[in-house]
């Protein structure tokens, strides 16, 4: 499958699943309180942490396996069993640490049916890790179509089961009992997702997962290929710091904020990062896999990879400008429409913080694409250096977060600002690496070209903000009329950006057309050869 087709399948899958998730969330937020959302998101964070520590290093390490296909499959299979083994100590450590926390003792333990929620969470982790060998081989084969089908179906089933369980609980229970069952309903939905994923790969995969077996190479026998295992160890250390930096805000949120504020932050994240999950995540994933394979070759076309990175950086910058323009001005107004007249949410601060979170999205986007490039092009020594940098920056960012929230009393604003600082540190580090990488490979990085391409979009967005402030007297929309006027200005900015990038867009379309013609010609030649043989 081509790269374009692969990312198209992933984006289409994300659009369909997020649309369904969005609809189900609309019903959920109207029926449950911020406190329930906070507890459910906290348990989900713990599950994701166990899965991340167990399998993320393995997923990144096996992308660099460069053996012959048959041997590569066995190497990947062996490594894919590592998360299942690692999941036991990681899960136990996480549970013991959280069991002694104030969050668990004061909020989760007293909640009715909390034992059921925890049991469901443990079981879903087990199912996720069992499915890892199937997932790893599918990724190696770049079979995005199968993955899209499986993940789409699993998300639909998760949303339906969660929604059905919450509505059924509300019908028969109330008060604290309903809160406990609502939290368990979220865990049940995640369990259904994990089971559907495992069954989906088992049924749809075009391969059978072998047992872990020793691989023979020359006179050596090994379970885990030495070079990949060494890389895995370096990545595992890096992933610890990466997770603390990326998800450390959740830990601090559980320490510094009450459950209601955690629920507010969860809703802000869910709605605010929709575009990031829809579009940025599939592109970053495909970029990481594509560059890893390109740079692992001895005759890698480094200059072509730079042109791709330049276009992606400009695309991300333009999209980020539109996100900030449309999201900051209209985000609070749209969120009020989505959450309805629920008194529990109306009394919260979610509408004030949401526009601030929109400003954080560009940092999140650029960090994703630049770290994807770093993980693809870096050596083992460079990964180790990055881990040291992550450890130092982790301490600095968490200290900043504590000061902003606890000393300056900035609340969730302090959390958002600290997250921006966190991402900015990583963006600068990875961008310096990118420039240095191409310099060592004798490729000129024309930063002036990128700046020139962004001059018109920046001017357009700045002008639009100025018009909204001067003409309409405010930047953020308050009424439906404000929203319509702002949407019109955003559309004009989009047209200006498209005009500025017209030459690049035409060039890419022509290139895609030539590629399609080349593929069609190859297929015709193949058919003619088959007919000649017959």
The label of the residue with tokens 């994933």 reads 285
Residue 425 pLDDT exceeds 90? yes
Q: Which two tokens stand for residue 90?
A: 């990681």
- For residue 477, the model assigns a pLDDT of 87
Residue 531, domain member (yes or no): no
Quote the pLDDT of residue 420.
94
Q: What is the mean pLDDT of residues 437-448?
A: 87
Helix orientation angle between 350-377 and 281-295, rounded to the nearest 10 degrees? 10
Tell me the C-alpha to C-alpha distance, in Å, between residue 338 and each of 38, 160, 193, 333, 412.
Answer: 19, 19, 25, 9, 21
Higher pLDDT, 20 or 9: 20
* pLDDT tens string 253-274: 777 787 778 788 888 888 887 7
Q: What residue spans of 472-501 are helical by DSSP H?
A: 480-500
445 occurs within a structural domain: yes
Question: Is 365 found in the same domain as 400?
Answer: yes
Stated as kind and residue range, the H or E segment containing 331 is helix 302-339
Q: Give CA–CA dist 20/22, Å, rounded.
A: 5
Is position 459 within any domain?
yes
Same domain as 187, residue 265? no
Taking residues 428-447, what's their average pLDDT?
Answer: 91
Please indicate, yes or no, whether residues 151 and 117 belong to a single structural domain of this protein: yes
List the structure tokens of 63: 């992308």
Whether residue 490 is found in the same domain as residue 361: yes
Residue 8 lies in a domain: no
Query: Where residue 493 falls among pLDDT bands split at 50, 70, 90?
Result: very high
Nearest to 113 by CA among 183, 43, 47: 183
| Domain shared by 205 and 140, yes or no | yes
- Report the 3 state secondary structure along 3-18: HHHHHHHHHHHHHHHH
Q: Are 284 and 410 in the same domain? A: yes
Q: Domain residues for 100?
A: 17-212+222-247
State residue 515's pLDDT score: 54
| Across 292-296, 419-423, 478-482, least confident range | 292-296
Judge whether 33 lies within some domain.
Answer: yes
Q: Does 530 reside within a domain?
A: no
**What pLDDT is recorded for position 525?**
54
Half-sphere exposure of 250 (CA within 13 A, CB side): 20
Residue bearing the bigger pLDDT, 473 or 163: 163
**Domain count within the chain:** 2
Residue 222, helix vs strand vs coil? strand
Residue 403 lies in a domain: yes
Q: Encode pLDDT of 83-135 as tens digits.
A: 999 999 999 998 888 888 777 888 888 999 999 999 999 999 999 999 999 88
177 with 316, same domain: the answer is no
Residue 74's pLDDT band, with cuts at 50, 70 and 90, is confident
Q: What is the mean pLDDT of residues 399-425?
A: 91
Distance CA 8, CA 274 (A): 17
323 lies in the same domain as 381: yes
Q: Which residues of 291-324 are buried (b: 16+ CB within 10 A; e: fewer)?
A: bbebbeeeeeebeebbeebbbbbbebbbbbbbbb
Structure token digits, residue 166: 């919450």
Residues 277 and 181 in one domain: no
Q: What percent of the chain has pLDDT over 70?
A: 87
Q: Do 206 and 321 have their domain in common? A: no
Give the C-alpha separation, 380 to 386, whole Å: 10
Q: By mean pLDDT, which of 16-30, 224-238, 396-410 is the weakest?
A: 16-30
State how far the Cα of 285 lies from the Cα of 142, in Å rounded to an integer. 11
pLDDT value of residue 32: 85
Shared domain for 188 and 317, answered yes or no, is: no
**227 and 315 belong to one structural domain:** no
* 21, 24, 138, 205, 435 from 16: Cα distances, Å: 9, 13, 21, 22, 37
């Amino acid at each position: 499958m081509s790269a374009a087709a692969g990312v198209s399948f992933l984006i289409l899958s994300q659009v369909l699943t997020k649309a369904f998730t969005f609809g189900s969330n609309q019903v959920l937020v109207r029926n449950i309180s911020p406190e329930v959302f906070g507890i459910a998101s906290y348990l989900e964070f713990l599950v994701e942490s166990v899965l991340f520590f167990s399998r993320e290093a393995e997923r990144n390490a096996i992308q660099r396996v460069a053996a012959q296909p048959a041997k590569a499959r066995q190497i990947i299979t062996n490594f894919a069993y590592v998360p299942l083994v690692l999941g036991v100590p990681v899960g136990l450590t996480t549970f013991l640490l959280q069991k002694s926390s104030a969050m668990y003792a004061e909020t989760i333990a007293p909640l009715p049916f909390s034992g059921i929620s925890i049991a469901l969470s443990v079981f879903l982790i087990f199912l996720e890790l069992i499915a890892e060998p199937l997932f790893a081989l599918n990724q190696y084969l770049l079979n995005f179509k199968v993955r899209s089908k499986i993940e789409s179906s699993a998300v639909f089933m998760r949303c339906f089961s969660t929604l059905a369980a919450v509505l059924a609980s509300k019908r028969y229970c109330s008060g604290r009992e309903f809160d406990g069952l609502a939290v368990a309903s979220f865990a049940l939905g995640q369990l259904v997702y994990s089971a559907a994923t495992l069954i989906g790969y088992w049924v749809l995969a075009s391969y059978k997962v072998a047992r872990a077996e020793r691989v023979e190479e020359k006179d050596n026998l090994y379970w885990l290929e030495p070079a990949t295992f060494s890389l895995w160890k370096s990545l595992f250390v890096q992933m610890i710091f990466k997770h603390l930096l990326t998800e450390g805000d959740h830990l601090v949120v559980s320490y510094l904020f009450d459950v209601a504020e955690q629920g507010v932050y969860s809703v802000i994240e869910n709605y605010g990062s929709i575009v990031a999950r829809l579009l940025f995540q599939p592109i970053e994933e495909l970029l990481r896999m594509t560059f890893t394979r390109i740079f692992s070759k001895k005759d890698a076309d480094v200059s072509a990879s730079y042109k791709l990175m330049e276009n992606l950086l400009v695309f991300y910058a333009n999209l980020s400008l539109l996100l900030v323009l449309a999201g900051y001005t209209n985000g609070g107004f749209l969120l009020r429409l989505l959450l309805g007249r629920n008194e529990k949410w109306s009394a919260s601060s979610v509408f004030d913080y949401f526009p601030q979170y929109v400003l954080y999205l560009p940092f999140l986007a650029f960090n994703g694409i630049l770290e994807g490039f770093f993980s693809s092009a870096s050596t083992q020594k460079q990964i180790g250096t990055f881990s040291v940098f992550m450890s130092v920056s982790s301490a600095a960012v968490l200290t900043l977060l504590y000061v902003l929230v606890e000393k300056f009393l900035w609340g969730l604003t302090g959390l958002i600002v600290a997250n921006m600082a966190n991402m900015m540190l990583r963006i600068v580090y990875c961008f310096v690496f990118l420039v240095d990488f191409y310099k060592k490979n004798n490729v000129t990085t024309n930063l002036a070209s990128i700046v020139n391409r962004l001059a018109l979009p920046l001017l357009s967005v700045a002008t639009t903000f100025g018009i909204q402030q001067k003409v309409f007297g405010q930047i953020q929309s308050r009424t439906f009329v404000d929203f319509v006027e702002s949407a019109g200005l955003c559309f004009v900015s989009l047209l200006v950006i498209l005009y500025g990038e017209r030459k690049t867009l035409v060039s890419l379309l022509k290139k895609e057309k030539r590629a399609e013609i080349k593929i069609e010609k190859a297929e015709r030649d193949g058919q003619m050869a088959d007919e000649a043989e017959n």
